[in-house]
Amino acid sequence: GSYHWNFERGLSVVTIPLVATALISGPIPLVDFGLGVVLPLHTHLGFDCIVQDYIPARKYGILNTIGTWGLRIVTGVVLYGCFAFNTTDVGITAFVKRLWTGKL
């Protein structure tokens, strides 16, 4: 329990300089890689808490297992998608900048 909480807080703290760097300096491949790892993992931990709180294993058993493994699979797909997007396309920071400015 405490390691999970510390890891989640660590991801939250790491997110702040990554987002600040992306806003200040624009697209940097290392920052895009960091965002592509930290944001999905942070989101995974948040959704994992939801699954554990609202579909507890002691009460729902198989639904908890399905929810947990479904979340793990989706997180893996999102991590791969972020990796592919950062390596074969413009990257997360440049994409958000394009969305924000409306310029392609």
Binding site residue list for heme b:
42
| Residues making up the binding site | 42, 54
In the chain, the largest separation of any two C-alpha atoms, in whole Å, equals 51
| Residues making up the binding site for a ubiquinone | 54
Residue 86: partners with Cβ closer than 8 Å, 6 or more residues away: 29, 32, 33, 36, 92
